[in-house]
Chains A and B, each alone.
Chain A
Amino acid sequence: MYFCKVINFTKRMKRILVILGLVSVIVVSCDYGHSFYIANKTTDTIIIVSANYNSIDSAIYFLPRGGSKYDSTWTEFNGKGKLELSEINLIPSDSTACYAVFNAPFFYDSQDQKGYFYIIKLENAKKYTWGEICRDTLYNKLVITQEMIEQVKTQESSPVIQWNNRNDGSDV
């Protein structure tokens, strides 16, 4: 009788261990996202566009304002005309923009492992076409490296990089 109980207990333990193993594999191998924020410490409202290379021509992703809800609109390139601006991508003074990446390191497609961010004042974005902004350099460049992110990383919250018009990353 006692022997049967021991066998049943062992079987149950085995089942529990198998389930725990499966759960731990699933949890370890889940999809993940991570992000960092760029804080606008200037007095202007800005828009930030991230690029794959050290050239505004490779600019692709307009960063959304940190914590803003998605309402189906997004800033778009309109050929060679002006940008079609959306509220979600406007970063007022003292607010943040969010750069998020899914299932990959932050700068996975950058050859030099750096992130290139082009910062355009809202007044310029409204006034000039995208071609004019690029041609007349009506933007600032912020270069972010993994080391910069590590420096401001905390255990609890996403890293925040300060943008104040002086840290343009030109020395990186």
Chain B
Amino acid sequence: MLGDINGTKYGGITIPERGIIVGKGVFTSQIPEGTAMMQHEYGHILQYLKVGPKAYYSIIAPESLASATFTSVKSHHSFWTETWANYLSKGYFGLKWLGNKIKGYPANNISDLNLLRLRIASIPLFY
């Protein structure tokens, strides 16, 4: 279902505290395209560690899923949940980050508005 790194399409999904699930060869082949995807998925783990489970599962996860499902494929890579994952991943991996070598990994810090939404969501009262 998640494809093969040597096939026409390969996928990856992150479920924090459960794992990163990717297509065949994405991780094991160690080729740059696969490593870049793994680094991006790890960016989602970093988001989870930063904002906690409540904010992650009430805002980041549903909005990311909605973006991937309902918006055009052209805009999902630049959706804020994805660009912030890239930003965190870039900071974590430093010079080894591959997002500037493979296309489709724009990295931007989170906006003040989205940060505020995450902070509000992490307050127990609003959950």
Same complex = yes
Task: Please give the residue numbers on chain A whose beta carbons come within 8 Å of chain B beta carbons, in ascending order.
Answer: 25-35, 50, 61-62, 64, 67-70, 72, 74, 88, 98-105, 108, 153-159
Q: Which residues of B contact A103 (CB under 8 A)?
A: 68, 73, 76-77, 82, 104
Q: Is the CB of A25 within 8 A of B31?
A: no
In Å, the complex CA distance between A74 and B8 comes to: 25
- Are B96's CB and A31's CB within 8 A? no
B6 touches A102 (CB 8 A): no
CB–CB A26/B12 < 8 A: no
**Which of these, A62, A153, A159, contacts B101 with CB under 8 Å?**
A62
Contact (Cβ within 8 A) A104 B73 = yes
Closest to B75 in A: A104
How far in angstroms is the closest Cβ of chain B from A152? 11
Which chain A residue lies CB-closest to B12? Answer: A31
Per-position contact with A for B63-105: 1 when CB-CB < 8 Å, else 0? Answer: 0111011000110111000100000000000011010011111
Q: Nearest chain B CB to A134's CB is how many angstroms away?
A: 21
Contact with B7, one of A30, A61, A69, A156 (Cβ below 8 angstroms) = A156
Secondary structure class of chain B's binding surface, majority of residues? mixed
Given known pairs A28-B69, A30-B2, A102-B104, the reply for A108 and B32 (CB within 8 Å) is: no
Cβ–Cβ contact B10 & A32, under 8 A:
yes
Bound-state CA distance A26–B41 (Å) is: 14
Interface presence of B3 (CB below 8 A):
yes
B107 interface hit (Cβ, 8 Å): no
A156 to B69, CA, bound (A): 24
Cβ contacts under 8 Å, A69 to chain B: 29-31
B1-35 interface (Cβ within 8 A of A): 1-3, 6-13, 26, 29-33, 35
Map CB proximity to A onto B39-73 as digits: 1 under 8 Å, 0 otherwise. Answer: 01100000000000000000000001110110001
5 smallest beta-carbon distances between A and B, as pairs: A102-B104, A103-B77, A29-B68, A100-B33, A30-B13
Interface contacts beyond A33-B33, A34-B9, A105-B73: sample of 11 additional A-B pairs, CB < 8 Å, sorted by A: A29-B69, A32-B12, A50-B103, A64-B33, A68-B31, A70-B30, A74-B101, A103-B73, A104-B103, A158-B8, A159-B8
Partner of B9, one of A33, A50, A154: A33
Q: Give the complex CA separation of A34 and B9 in angstroms.
A: 5
B121 interfacial contact with A, CB 8 Å: no
The answer to whether A100 and B9 touch across the interface, beta carbons within 8 angstroms, is: no
